[in-house]
Amino acid sequence: MSKLFLRPIPQLIFMSRWLQLPLYLGLIVAQGVYVWHFWVELTHLVEAAFGSQSAIQQIVAATAPPGQAAATMKTPSETVIMLVVLGLIDVVMISNLLIMVIVGGYETFVSRMHLEDHPDQPEWLSHVNASVLKVKLATAIIGISSIHLLKTFINAAAYDEKTLLWQTVIHVAFLLSAMAIAAVDRILPAAARGHAKPALQRAGPAAGH
């Protein structure tokens, strides 16, 4: 009788996974904001290449270090163009991170998408699980951190040594964290297989009797 009263509780807990759906829909909106930001920055870069002074000042101000006034330029320098392009790459990598979280997270924690026979199914989605998703997210974060670090070192003269040191330390911390996640991801399945073998060995003689 008590089991009958407990049935709605597991059902409620199982259905609670749909509470994550608004979160993933919100990330889709954030993806749209990044797409808009990308095209605004790209438009400014193209206009600056054709000599638009307002666009030049906008990209120079966007690439200036925090707390420093933007330099006045008649044409964008190679460093400024490189920093803008790295900023665009940064937006793309963050967008990739969002896609992995939205698609992989929904598939792993909310509901199956049933994309097995779809011609456009991403390769990584065919074997995604919580462990694979963590490793891929860690790798994506390292890529984003690398872009930020490269942008800082390209304009290193505008930063003090303390800022450069801390950005490097943070990037190394991301690397070590990703390596630890990957190591744990490899150790756990091996440990599970190791525990399974004695169980099979015990089951073998029992089956013989």
Task: Pick 206 or 13 by higher pLDDT.
Answer: 13
For residue 67, what are its two tokens?
């707390």
Mean pLDDT of 53-82: 76
Q: Domain for residue 206, yes or no?
A: no
Q: In what helix (H) or strand (E) does residue 176 lie, and over which residues does it extend?
A: helix 161-208
DSSP 156: G
Q: Domain for residue 14, yes or no?
A: yes
Mean pLDDT of 39-55: 89
In this predicted structure, what is the pLDDT of residue 126? 66
The percentage of the chain sitting over the pLDDT mark of 90, rounded to a whole number, equals 23
Q: Domain for residue 134, yes or no?
A: yes
Domain count, the chain: 1
- pLDDT tens sequence across 135-191: 888 888 898 889 888 888 888 877 888 888 999 999 999 999 888 888 887 777 655
Q: Rounded CA gap, 26 and 43, in Å?
A: 26
Is a pLDDT exceeding 50 seen at residue 1? no
Is a pLDDT exceeding 50 seen at residue 25? yes
Q: Domain for residue 207, yes or no?
A: no
Q: Domain for residue 116, yes or no?
A: no
Q: Rounded CA gap, 151 and 13, in Å?
A: 46
Contact 108, 133 (CB under 8 A): yes
pLDDT confidence band for 131 (50 / 70 / 90)? confident
Q: Domain for residue 209, yes or no?
A: no
Q: Domain for residue 175, yes or no?
A: yes
In this predicted structure, what is the pLDDT of residue 5? 52
Mapping DSSP to helix (H, G, I), strand (E, B) and coil, where does residue 146 land? helix
Contact 101, 120 (CB under 8 A): no
Is a pLDDT exceeding 80 seen at residue 197? no
In this predicted structure, what is the pLDDT of residue 6? 55
Q: Domain for residue 117, yes or no?
A: no
- Predicted TM-score of the model (pTM): 0.74
Q: Which domain holds residue 190?
A: 2-111+126-201
In this predicted structure, what is the pLDDT of residue 199? 44
